[in-house]
Structure 1
């Protein structure tokens, strides 16, 4: 069965950007840069989206370097990935203020089970845009 989870995972796995950017910027696919990101992202979507239900689409901004840029899950840092979603990420430990805000809102909604049953968050451009440092990194 084609599930919402499988469609999102396949989309994330195949994301790429081939357009032009200013010389000192680059685009990163957080799902491919760290193998554990792909693993926890898949675990998240299979846990909360393993169905074919329709959801409300909440449009956010591009991934932050401490949230979806690490976990692969929009507006979710490693702290909330573990504390709210029960998914542990061992290779990174991050705190993102937008994740605090979103998970406070999710708590008021009724919790992660209810929220993710009804809603899907992503970005029009779900890749990370980063500025290269002077030393090339």
Structure 2
């Protein structure tokens, strides 16, 4: 089953050796609460055995995925999808945007029937207890590149992502996703969309239009 393979991939993905620039990696799926919440989510929404189109960000943040185990899903959104939790209800901008997209596409039952939300690198990265992106310094990118290759390869070959297309969340992230795909030849097409956090931070007034753009692109990948 898709959910079982996904759970195995995320819970068993290895921590890297010590990273440059005082960057620290940790797996939310080694903590009891996010692991349990994600297990409930996967068993509810990642049912069946069919491939999903992967929507992949950079690496998880500590306030959304880091607490709930579900990519781009803060505790408020998780509760709205029927997964009760006692986590603080602090909103995370990326989650707010993705929640709007999911609702516009018919709700979580419909959305996750077709799509998987995740990251190129599935572990949280922190520097000085703040979120860190794998591409923020060349040294960290180089150190993590084999693990990022492993992550994306496993998602396709072991978990079972669709190969006809994938969606990259973030323009800068697109540079690295395309490089990965050139090396690994896993997807026929990579569609790059502006990152949800960027859209919420700099283009929030155009929220309706930006959600509609996401929906148009995603609809075209499953129709």
Q: How well do the aligned residues superpose, as a CA RMSD in angstroms?
A: 1.4
**Pick from 11, 14, 28: which aligns with 1:13?**
11
- How is 1:87-106 mapped onto 2 (pairs within 5 angstroms)? 87-106=83-102
Check whether the contact 1:41–1:72 (CA below 8 A) recurs between aligned residues.
yes
Which structure 2 residues correspond to residues 103-114 of structure 1 after superposition, within 5 A?
Answer: 103-114=99-110
Match of 1:67 among 59, 64, 68: 64
Structure number with higher helix proportion: 2
Aligned counterpart, 1:36: 33
How far does residue 17 in structure 1 lie from its aligned partner after superposition?
2.6
Alpha-carbon distance in structure 2 between the residues aligned to 1:22 and 1:31: 23
Aligned counterpart, 1:53: 50
Q: Relative contact order (alpha carbons < 8 A, sep ≥ 6): 1 or 2 greater?
A: 1
Equivalent residues, number: 129
Uncovered stretches (5+) of structure 2, i.e. residues with no partner = 130-223
Shift of 1:20: 4.5
- SS of the residue corresponding to residue 27 of structure 1 reads strand
TM-score, normalisation: structure 2: 0.55
Q: Which moved more, 1:19-28 or 1:95-104?
A: 19-28
Q: Greater CA radius of gyration, 1 or 2?
A: 2
Cα deviation code 1:87-121 (max 9, x no counterpart): 11224443210000001011111111110001111
Match of 2:20, SS state, is coil
Residue 76 of structure 1, CA deviation: 0.4
Q: How many angstroms apart in 2 are the aligned matches of 1:36 and 1:17?
A: 19
SS for the counterpart of 1:57 is strand
Of residues 113-122 and 20-29 in structure 1, the stretch that sits farther from structure 2 once superposed is 20-29
Q: Which consecutive unaligned segments of at least 5 residues does structure 1 have?
A: none
Whether the aligned pair in 2 keeps the contact of 1:70 and 1:92 (CA below 8 Å) is no
